[in-house]
Structure 1
Amino acid sequence: MNDPLVVPTGGIADAALAILHKTVDKQIAEHSLRSFYFARLTAQQEGLLTDAAYDEGLLFAATVMHDLGLGTLAGGNARFEVEGADLAATLLAEHGVPDGDISRVWEAIALHSSLGLADRMGLLTYLTHKGVFTDGGRFTELSPELQEPVRLAYPRSPDDRSLQMAIIKHARKSPKAAPPFSIAAELLRQAGG
């Protein structure tokens, strides 16, 4: 891969970027983009770019839209992962994406924060999960040299808590937004409700 910062183009990619930038804060949008780059770099490092199940357009859609549930379109009627998956599915359906591919993206988004589950699902869910948590610092398999162009293009302050604060804000919208044992419920508990 020559340029690690190149992104897919076309109607779906453009629509995913547009909804991302229109509905979430800049820090979350940049986290979503870093998640895509790290997911693709993970696929490259693990030799998965030529796997029959690898679809860069769907990976872009899943990673870029994985936190739509923390944006202005989410009502707090479900956990943020599910609301984001529903919003992404609606956008993909509006662009004529086949139902099977919509289901794969929905699953990848809905399970992206499910430690111990996401990495056992299909390739799209696995890579989305790896990309998201590589950006969060949980996974360190990607070398600093591979990560460097992404981190330089989209720097993240070490003390940035915008993602956690957005999850807490969403969790406070309704009890359904922070079901027991979810990341949202835990962050809300740590914040004192």
Structure 2
Amino acid sequence: MDFSLDLPAGPLVEAVLSTVRTSETPSVVNHSVRSFFFAQLLAAHEGCLEDAAYDRDRLFAATVLHDLGAGDLATGEARFEVEGADLAANLLRRHKVPEADVDRVWEAIALHTSPGIAERRGLLCYLTHEGVGIDFGRNAEVVSRWEKQIHAAYPRLAMVRSLVDAIVERAARSDAAAPRYSIGGELLRERRADGVTSLESAAATSPWGE
């Protein structure tokens, strides 16, 4: 397939990029944009680009905003996926995105850390979850032809450690932000108990590193 590092265009895209660049660390911003490219490549690999449910603009919003709850706009009053989904929905509503699409993006962000659920909630949820997963090294072979180009444009910058730091910091702010068995809650408990999390340890064996 033809591949390009071009992003969608328009006021909403500009607002999405401005929001993440001013509220997240550069490593998390790059992770989010890479997740968009990886999700697109997965969609192409699986023949989904012509699917009626495929929407590149909504995929961009869901993937690039998926860690908004780990940024400076989040208050730590709910688990980071839900808080990020709420923040993303508010941004989309300000740009007059139809409510049905707002709901789809909200769900994709809220479920992006929920394997076994995200895959069953439609194409946007599936691609968002899997695009994020590829950036952690899962199913890396799908994007191996283009990953060097993507990583050169959007380097990792110790992403795993940076993202875990942000999630843990917000999870520590309230019990509601760290419920048992949520990823935020478990990362917080691992960091307090061992000083390092399973997600950081797994990065050592990822094809991309951290």
Provide the residue aligned with 2:125 in structure 1: 125
List alignment gaps of at least 5 residues for structure 1: none
Please give the secondary structure, in 2, of the residue aligned with 1:161. Answer: helix
Q: Encode CA deviations 1:68-101: one digit per residue, 9 max, x unaligned.
A: 0011110111000001000000000000000000
Pairwise CA RMSD: 1.4
What is the CA-CA distance between 1:169 and the residue it aligns to? 0.7
CA distance in 2, matches of 1:94, 1:87: 11
| Aligned 8 A contact 2:27 2:157 in 1 | no
TM-score, scaled relative to structure 1: 0.95
What is the CA-CA distance between 1:147 and the residue it aligns to? 2.0
Provide the residue aligned with 1:43 in structure 2: 43
Provide the residue aligned with 1:192 in structure 2: 192
Q: Encode CA deviations 1:31-63: one digit per residue, 9 max, x unaligned.
A: 000000000111111111110000000000000
Runs of 4+ more than 3 Å apart: 157-160
CA distance in 2, matches of 1:134, 1:125: 14
CA distance in 2, matches of 1:120, 1:136: 21
CA distance in 2, matches of 1:158, 1:105: 27
Please give the secondary structure, in 2, of the residue aligned with 1:29. Answer: helix
What is the CA-CA distance between 1:4 and the residue it aligns to? 2.6
Provide the residue aligned with 1:77 in structure 2: 77
Give matches, 1:7-156, under 5 Å: 7-156=7-156
CA distance in 2, matches of 1:3, 1:39: 12
Pairs aligned (count) = 193
% identical aligned pairs: 52
What is the CA-CA distance between 1:158 and the residue it aligns to? 6.3
CA distance in 2, matches of 1:121, 1:57: 18
CA distance in 2, matches of 1:173, 1:158: 24
Q: Encode CA deviations 1:97-128: one digit per residue, 9 max, x unaligned.
A: 00000000000000001111111111000000
What is the CA-CA distance between 1:192 and the residue it aligns to? 1.1
Provide the residue aligned with 2:199 in structure 1: none
| Aligned 8 A contact 1:112 1:125 in 2 | yes
| Aligned 8 A contact 2:77 2:177 in 1 | yes
| Aligned 8 A contact 2:27 2:158 in 1 | no
CA distance in 2, matches of 1:157, 1:98: 35
TM-score, scaled relative to structure 2: 0.88
Q: Mark the CA change 1:149 to 1:97 in structure 2 (over 3 Å): closer, same or farther.
A: same
Provide the residue aligned with 2:165 in structure 1: 165
The amino acid across from 1:169 in the alignment is E
Please give the secondary structure, in 1, of the residue aligned with 2:145. Answer: helix
Provide the residue aligned with 1:179 in structure 2: 179
What is the CA-CA distance between 1:141 and the residue it aligns to? 4.2
CA distance in 1, matches of 2:105, 2:141: 24
| Aligned 8 A contact 2:66 2:85 in 1 | yes
